[in-house]
Amino acid sequence: NATAETRQFEAEVAQVLHLVTHSLYSHKEIFLRELISNASDACDKLRFEAIANPELMAGGGELHIDVSFDKDARTITIADNGIGMSRDEVVANIGTIASSGTRRFLAAMANEQKADARLIGQFGVGFYSAFVVADKVTVLTRRAGASASEGVKWESDGQGEYTLEAVELAERGTTVVLHLKADEDEFLSDWKLRSLVHRYSDHVAFPIRMPKDAGTEDDTATGDWETINAASALWTQPKSEISDEDYQSFYKSLGHDFNDALAWSHNRVEGNQSFTTLLYLPSQPPFDLMMGGRDERKGLKLYIKRVFVMDAAEELLPNYLRFVRGVVDADDLPLNVSRELLQHNRQLERIKASCTKRVLDLIESLANNEPEKFATFIKAFGNTLKEGIGEDTANRERIAKLLRFASTKGDAGKQTVSLDDYIGRMQEGQDTIWYITAESYAAAAGSPQLEAFKAKGIEALLMFDRIDEWMLGYLQEYDGKKLQSVAKGELPLDEAAKQQHEEAAKAAEPLVAKLKELLGDRVNEVRVSARLTDSPSCLALSDFDMAPHFARLMREAGQ
């Protein structure tokens, strides 16, 4: 008998709704994946809370997700018996935007007419995708542990307002009813819904059920449900029994990605500490990767004995591997572990080191065996990987081995030359890896600093990514060879050249003196250089100067 209360969506929600409904029409069907994924999260949460509070599970039987439709009413219903929501939680979770990831997403999309569906998919804007196919959505929910009278009914047409009402609900959990738009009848089909569940949600770890008789003429449910997904934790199965297709479909539901994963690594470690890891490399970067963005809820999911505990990417992987998606299932961690405890947990440290090693192994195997995939990887994540040179001292050499650069002996601007390639081409007596940093490939490749190197046939790596200068600060040596900028230091000369250079310097003394006088304080020194062959002059740095590109970056940053 409580009256319905009408509320406004937060401004940003209206924005998300607008973006989602106008961008996703070519991927409409992901609403089902998103709603099933929420139902699965709700079951995960209940299972986890029930460890400390077993009475939460009382009544309601096995955790499951039910999908059904009603042709006459033109509705699709997704119901779970998971954790459910209280009235406050409904308001907080589906009337506002809680996720920092979504906020970043909005900021980035602010100027787009039509957001890239792929990005939206990666973001898993989740619940709101219901409004792509529905013009009215009803949510009925009751928090586990709450009484039947504490049910909540939420309803909205997705136009800026929603209503809230107290209702009597016999069971815990959440039921989402989609009232389909006029032209969305294709989803009112048993075959269609089943195939979508198979495509996107087969590896959800809870049973997804549909009415047995839904395909027949008279589709009033008889109460008989059948499970239509694999409903098992994929990573717990033996590798030999998992097909590539299974791995890919699990990746897509895990990573909210439309695209296939590039590669994966699935391992079981047995010993005094046992755990399973299933780690994926995506094939494309999320849009905010280089903004240093790290969506706390995208990355690695930590399970303990198959119970989902929390998203724990930061605890399980270093930041420079933040593009990795996957699952870690540990046997020996206490289930009541908190995030605070995780941050200082020795066992977890070991798992983290193991995940890091697995990912580097995986990238290395691509480099050695699958050049095309490796090239895709480098294009997507090469710059992120470079952060590891500074961040992960222990693995610096391994990471450096994986990096690829453009070079004076490479293929134009393509970043394909490894440090090992470079070393393999070093000239006799050369003990330095030379490089140049600049704003762009063209600026690096065309620099007069390189003339003498080119004339002598000495290769130089061409660095023009924003992060390179920072990275080189940590990469002073590789395989016992010094890395040095061509703008610093002196090119080593052989005896004949040395003599020639000295003579030239002597002959030019009056000119040098005159230039010094003219330039005054603006330079430290004017000298005859051996580094030029065609250009008459260039600016050089002493060993302790900041590279010009870096100095510019610092100025831009207001330093």
At closest approach, how far in Å is the CB of 10 from Mg ion? 17
DSSP annotation of 162 reads: E
Is residue 327 within 8 A of residue 235, CB to CB? The reply is: yes
Which residues ranging from 259 to 288 are in contact with ligand ADP (CB under 6 A)?
none
Q: Which two tokens stand for residue 390?
A: 């500074």
At closest approach, how far in Å is the CB of 336 from Mg ion? 25
What are the b/e assignments for 355-364, b being 16+ CB within 10 Å?
bbebbbebbe
Q: Which one of 23, 38, 265, 437 is in contact with ligand ADP (CB under 6 A)?
A: 38
At closest approach, how far in Å is the CB of 324 from ligand ADP? 19
Distance of CA 391 to the CA centre of its chain: 18
Which residues ranging from 403 to 432 are in contact with ligand ADP (CB under 6 A)?
none
Cα 161 to Cα 2, 34, 90, 143, 180: the distances in Å are 19, 22, 14, 23, 18
Which residues ranging from 119 to 158 are in contact with ligand ADP (CB under 6 A)?
124, 126-127
At closest approach, how far in Å is the CB of 144 from ligand ADP? 10
Check binding of 42 to ligand ADP (CB under 6 A). Answer: yes
Interstrand relation of 432-437 and 75-80 (parallel, antiparallel or unpaired): unpaired
Residue closer to ligand ADP, measured from CB, 83 or 547:
83
Q: How far apart are CA 53 and CA 478, in angstroms?
A: 55
Interstrand relation of 477-478 and 432-437 (parallel, antiparallel or unpaired): unpaired
| Interaction site with Mg ion (CB under 5 A) | 38, 126
Check binding of 85 to ligand ADP (CB under 6 A). Answer: yes
At closest approach, how far in Å is the CB of 5 from ligand ADP? 19
Is residue 28 within 8 A of residue 154, CB to CB? The reply is: no
Which residues ranging from 94 to 113 are in contact with ligand ADP (CB under 6 A)?
94
Check binding of 82 to ligand ADP (CB under 6 A). Answer: yes
Interface with ligand ADP by CB under 6 A: which range of 32-40, 451-459, 463-471, 484-492?
32-40
- Which residues are within 8 A (CB) of 420 and not within 5 positions of it... i.e. 6 or more apart? 401, 479
Check binding of 80 to ligand ADP (CB under 6 A). Answer: yes
Check binding of 469 to ligand ADP (CB under 6 A). Answer: no
Nearest by Cα to 331 from 347, 352, 346: 347
Check binding of 449 to ligand ADP (CB under 6 A). Answer: no
Interface with ligand ADP by CB under 6 A: which range of 25-33, 37-45, 48-56, 259-267?
37-45
Q: How far apart are CA 205 and CA 301, in angstroms?
A: 13
Q: Which one of 21, 23, 34, 250 is in contact with ligand ADP (CB under 6 A)?
A: 34
At closest approach, how far in Å is the CB of 418 from Mg ion? 40
Nearest by Cα to 426 from 409, 412, 411: 409
**Which residues are at the interface with ligand ADP (CB under 6 A)?**
34, 38-39, 41-42, 80, 82-85, 93-94, 124, 126-127, 174
